[in-house]
Every structure is written in C-alpha cells, then in structure tokens.
Amino acid sequence: MHAADPHTTAATRGMQPAGAGGAGHVDPEGGVGELLELEQLEPLIFRGRTHAGDRIRLYGGEVAAQAMLAAGRTVPPGRALNSLGAYFLLPGDSTVPVIYKVGVARDGGTFSTRTVEGCQSGRPILWATASFQSPERGLSHQVAPSPARMPETLPSAENALADDPPTLAWISEVTSRLPVEIRFPDGSLHRPSASGHIAALRVWLRTRHKLTDSPEIHAAGMVYLSDLLMLAASLQPHPHRIADGNVWFATIGHSVILHAPARADDWLLYEVESDWAGAGRCLTRGRLFDRTGRLCASTTQEAVLRVSEAECGGGRAAKNADR
C-alpha cells in the first residue's frame, strides 16, 4: 500500500477528492487519540475521519490502528486485542474517509476473530484479520531488551541529527505529519545497534499528546507506533539512507502481536532487525518494550524495497507509482 515509513508522500493517483458527506476532519493538534476516532455507521461498519490540507498518502499505522479499533468494537466485552495482521492493497488518500467493514469470523469461549476491509471510494485499500482474547493466566517468559539509555537522558531528534541534514529533514517531515516523539538511544538513526545484528536499529517512541486511559486506545496506539521506522533497518548493511531520493519503500504486510498492556503516550523502546532483503523486498521484525523492560508487543513487516537502476547496477528501475 503506502509507505509505512512515511517518506513516500507523493499524492495518490486515481483517488476521488474529498467530499464524502458526513465525514469529520482531524484536528492537526488533536494527537493520535483524535486520529483514531471512528464513527459507527452500522453495527459492523465504521468510518474514519479525513485530514485537512493537501492530499498525501495515509500513514499505514493509522489505517491498521483504526481497523483494529473497528474490529474491537464488535467483540464481546472484556476481550482485548492479542494479534493483528494487515495487508495494504492500495495507497490511502488523506482527504477521503476510510470505511471499515467488519466481518464476524468466530466468537469462541476465549477468542474472537474478525476480518476488516478498509475501503476508499469503493476500492479496498486494506485487508486485516484481528484476534481478541479474554483475560487468561499461563506460563510466562520473555526476552530482555539490550541495555539502553533512558529517553529523558537523550538529546532530541533535532539535536541528535544536527550533523546529518538529509536525515534530519526526513525525520522532521515525519514528526510534522505524525504526532509522535522520537529519541535515538544509539545516537543516530543510522548508527549500528549495540546488538551486533547485521541490520538493526533502536528508537524510543511515544505519542506526542496524552491519550485517554482506555486500554483499547493504548493498544491501538501501539499498533500506530509499531509501523514507524521499521523499514529503515533494512538499509543498514547497504550504502543507502532512508532520506535518499533513489530509495523507495511500500509496505506489503504488517503484523502485531500484543503481549502486555502499555501506555502508548509513555516511552516505548523499539528494537528492529531485518533478517533478509532480496528480490525487491525486505523483511523486518521488531520488539516493543516499556521503560521497565517488559516486552509489550512483537511485530513483523514485509515491504517492497527498490532503488534506482543506476544504484542497483542494472535491471529495471524502481517502479514508484505501482508496486
């Protein structure tokens, strides 16, 4: 669909301009909580809000989080999201409301499963499945995060990237479009992670504005944050940077498994690793920890990864208009 790392900001093609009656507009200062608000049109149909301003591609985390919320509002009380898998089919248009159509796949004794189709102007842009679980106790273990400086001790992204103007410009664009805050425990987006992995990065993330205390909103907030910067890890072994004009990403699929509740408006440490890239695609996986070191979510993402013909050393040039 659209680039999950929101550096692919060209206007979408083939989308009708806004004008769908009744859809509200997002207040740019309203934060993630307002971005994720949905209007229920029918028992299994929900509508998102449009963005004011120029038409740009929707951020994938926003659409996935709204799909999760739509699905969650159709399950029996007391069941929380345990996993979400989303496929991005077409670029989303920020000026057109997304309609989410929920399908009831199953309500069991412990788990509920839902399907969600996100559509704009009658065309599907997202297909997702979501699973929800009643509270349950069981065996427990987790991996620990690598030691990292606490976010309060780190410079702002602007200061950390002051010697890297292209990346600073890109990060500034991201944080101007998305109401999030970012800190780099390793000092830079491109500095190798302390893990020693061939392609890895770490970043502290949180929403810029406080959210309500609703557990479902914070779960959606984690889904929203989980789509940010993942694909940058795939470039670590290569002589390219995410801000380069000859690099193009588009997310194919994104999955999130939630392990423990966490506040999305408090700092979360995101450890991201890319185990493979090839054939015009890349694979990344991530772990979200809260500040106490508790593992709150695991993620995977598959994406198109293309660079220009000259940089590839032959073959076809990157196809930026249609993956």
Is-contact 59 178, C-beta < 8 A?
A: yes
- Cα separation of 109 and 111, whole Å? 6
Which residues are CB-contacts of 203 (< 8 A; sequence separation ≥ 6)? 182, 183, 184, 185, 189, 228, 229, 269, 270, 272
Other CB atoms within 10 Å distance of the CB of residue 153: 8
301 is catalytic: yes
In this structure, is the dihedral angle defined by the CA atoms of residues 108, 287, 289 and 210, taken in order, positive or negative? negative
284 is catalytic: no
Candidates 227, 236, 284, 299; catalytic one: 227
251 is catalytic: yes
Candidates 12, 50, 95, 301; catalytic one: 301
**Long-range own/partner contacts, residues 27-30 (CB < 8 A, 24 or more apart):** 28/52, 28/53, 30/179, 30/209
Rounded to a whole number of angstroms, the CA Rg of the chain reads 19
- Cα separation of 116 and 123, whole Å? 14
Give the residue ranges of DSSP H helices in 162-214. Answer: 165-177
Measure CA 253 to chain center.
Answer: 11
Q: Give me the residues paired with residue 201 across strands.
A: 272
Would you call 120 exposed, middle or buried from its count of C-beta atoms within 10 A (0-12, 13-18, 19+)?
buried
Candidates 129, 167, 251, 284; catalytic one: 251
Catalytic residue set = 227, 251, 301
